[in-house]
Structure 1
């Protein structure tokens, strides 16, 4: 009986530690962005308005923002994008990322941003068309971090039994929210991240 009680105590202590870690993470997130302003007329989009972003040739954008958090989810680094991209990112978080994760690890805490605005061609190929990144229309996500610190990596976990189904659900859920959705298996250039952009195609969203 004594060993049973000890086992129960260990389990309860472990649960308490997980709850404490989740609480600490949420509090740290709130403190991290305390006092920062909202952008795009949406209180849940935290960052700074930077206005015109000049670029070579057709690169650049008007009314650019530097996004730092979306509806309580932090970005690992500020994303320089347009408001439309930010709004669709919020939609994806709430309709795809959060439902895919559920209560696993306390929920979604942070997105690991691999790229946002950059004046370059598609996949950095010489002579290719300009990437949607060059217009502030795109964002690349390499991983999703949970409240308990677990990181779901696109490169490492796409084919894993534990997190693979969640990542695939997120990827599938992005189709239609974004004009372009690319990930592992799409073209050889997106094995380690999701590419999302708000390009408008006559034939509808391009998802692969």
Structure 2
């Protein structure tokens, strides 16, 4: 108490001129802050200058901090404020999940080996789902050739039907036709996959075509440009004999074989399918 100050430590008011606003064209002077360890008091008031009003341009203030010897200096070369996000960067809206795009997949082309069989050429297709009970193919293919014999229209079928057709071509078609007309060049396909009833009759059972199990053939193209057709050649002597042998030879590789004498719906083509029956192949 003997060394009590003779006046209040409350600081005096700053002169009015010190509080005058900074003119817009004047740049604020850099502020230097000295931190000194020891009993020496700062020579000037540590009260900071007033912040410029919003109407005044704000310019960066350089601050230089002098650290007393023996202490570590923390120098920041640039502002720690993060950079602004680029304006063209897309931002997802709140509550929405990112969109995913599913690209359409092109058919896988397999020339000369399809369904694990050399000689079958065509494309693998995506599964066929129609939403109609019983229709569709889990692993469809688009068959174009069998052992070099072209199909006039690529057939959408399953692999069981394709393998049965190849067996018929090898065991019956090529040997029976032989060199007649120069040999077999093509097969005229008039039906393959279709989601429909048998013979397109209302109320009938679902056709084997609706499952990819069937293929219909109406003619056999020959190398000389002619064609054996079921409609016109079935009742002829020579050509009809070849067609009857081909009809008979399909009974075995296929579970169902229908021809011109089965009913009025098949008078112009052969119907082959791989459905299995309890009593063995159904051929008419």
Find the residue that maps to 1:195 and give its secondary structure.
strand
Greater percentage in strand: 1
Given the alignment of the two structures, is residue 176 of structure 1 paired with residue 224 of structure 2, yes or no? no
Q: Aligned equivalents of 2:251 and 2:114: distance in 1?
A: 25
2:232 to 133, 153, 156: 156
2:116 to 19, 41, 48: 41
Q: CA deviation at 1:188?
A: 1.3
Q: 5+ unaligned residues in a row in structure 1: which ranges?
A: 1-34
Given the alignment of the two structures, is residue 54 of structure 1 paired with residue 93 of structure 2, yes or no? no
Which structure is larger by alpha-carbon Rg, 1 or 2?
2
Q: Deviations over 1:52-87 (max 9, x none)?
A: 111222100111000000011100010000001000
TM-score by length of 2: 0.60
Q: CA deviation at 1:96?
A: 1.1
Q: Deviations over 1:20-68 (max 9, x none)?
A: xxxxxxxxxxxxxxx8623212231000000311122210011100000
Greater percentage in helix: 1
Given the alignment of the two structures, is residue 80 of structure 1 paired with residue 156 of structure 2, yes or no? yes
Find the residue that maps to 1:97 and give its secondary structure.
helix
Runs of 4+ aligned residues of structure 1 deviating over 2 Å after TM superposition are: 35-38
RCO higher in structure (CA 8 A, sep ≥6): 1
Whether contact under 8 Å (2:258, 2:271) holds in the other structure is: yes
Q: Aligned equivalents of 2:156 and 2:204: distance in 1?
A: 22
Whether contact under 8 Å (2:110, 2:124) holds in the other structure is: no
Alignment of 1:112-131 (within 5 A): 112-131=188-207
1:200 to 265, 268, 276: 276
How many pairs does the alignment contain? Answer: 174
RMSD between aligned residues: 1.1
Q: Aligned equivalents of 2:119 and 2:139: distance in 1?
A: 18
**Structure 1 equivalent of residue 266 of structure 2:** 190
Q: Aligned equivalents of 1:126 and 1:161: distance in 2?
A: 37
Q: Aligned equivalents of 1:140 and 1:94: distance in 2?
A: 18
Q: 5+ unaligned residues in a row in structure 2: which ranges?
A: 1-108
Find the residue that maps to 1:63 and give its secondary structure.
coil
**Structure 2 equivalent of residue 104 of structure 1:** 180
TM-score by length of 1: 0.81
Alignment of 1:129-140 (within 5 A): 129-140=205-216
**Structure 2 equivalent of residue 71 of structure 1:** 147
**Structure 2 equivalent of residue 18 of structure 1:** none
